Amino acid sequence: MSEIDTDTENAWLSPEDIELVRAQVPIVYVDAVPVRVDTKGIVTEVGLLLRVAADGSISRMVVSGRVLFGERVRDALLRHLEKDLGRFALPRVPASPAPFTVVEYFPNPARSGFYDPRQHAISLAYVVPVDGECEPTQQALDLAWFTPSEAVSDEVVGQMTSGHDRLIRLALAHVGQLP
């Protein structure tokens, strides 16, 4: 096996090495479904980004990204939430977050319903309440807030790829808000 160099500054692999690893090993990700809740803790809105998906399409999706080598899952969640929603989003991530589900993305969309043409990825999925002002950063084209009913409507689901429509339904079912 060839020697793989890690970038110790970023705790990640070079572009060439990540392609090699992606071809042979599942990569760990986090998916975060940002939500707004009322005073009773009931989800009133779901935040969906508009961005370029792994398959090259422009679609609505949740906050998502890799967990870096040596990085705690909670830190990865916070890093990706800040990167995609802005530094004033004020996400409420518990000290010991527990995923509501584990998602397996495959290069073959028929394998699990979750699709990533680049790799086999394992993603820990979380529902994360945000209290602050969210503003999409350069990583996203737009951020829109939808009621639970709107988030699973045909119109919004038609804008999603990679299985994120299924992930939204799972998240809403987890919090008791699936219409």
Domains of the chain and CATH, by start? 29-174 (3.90.79.10)
Q: How far apart are CA 159 and CA 99, in angstroms?
A: 25
- What pLDDT, on a 0 to 100 scale, did the predictor assign at position 4? 44
* pLDDT above 70: percentage of residues in the chain: 93
- What pLDDT, on a 0 to 100 scale, did the predictor assign at position 10? 57
pLDDT digits (tens, 9 = 90+) for 130-160: 999 998 777 788 999 999 999 999 999 999 9
Considering only CA atoms, which of 121, 116, 141 is closest in space to residue 56? Answer: 116
CB proximity list for 42: less than 8 A, separation 6 or greater: 177
Q: How far apart are CA 55 and CA 66, in angstroms?
A: 17
- What pLDDT, on a 0 to 100 scale, did the predictor assign at position 1? 40
Name the residue with higher pLDDT: 1 or 39. 39
What stretch of H or E contains 123? Answer: strand 121-129
Q: How far apart are CA 146 and CA 7, in angstroms?
A: 39
Q: What is the biggest distance separating any 2 CA atoms in the chain, rounded to whole angstroms?
A: 55
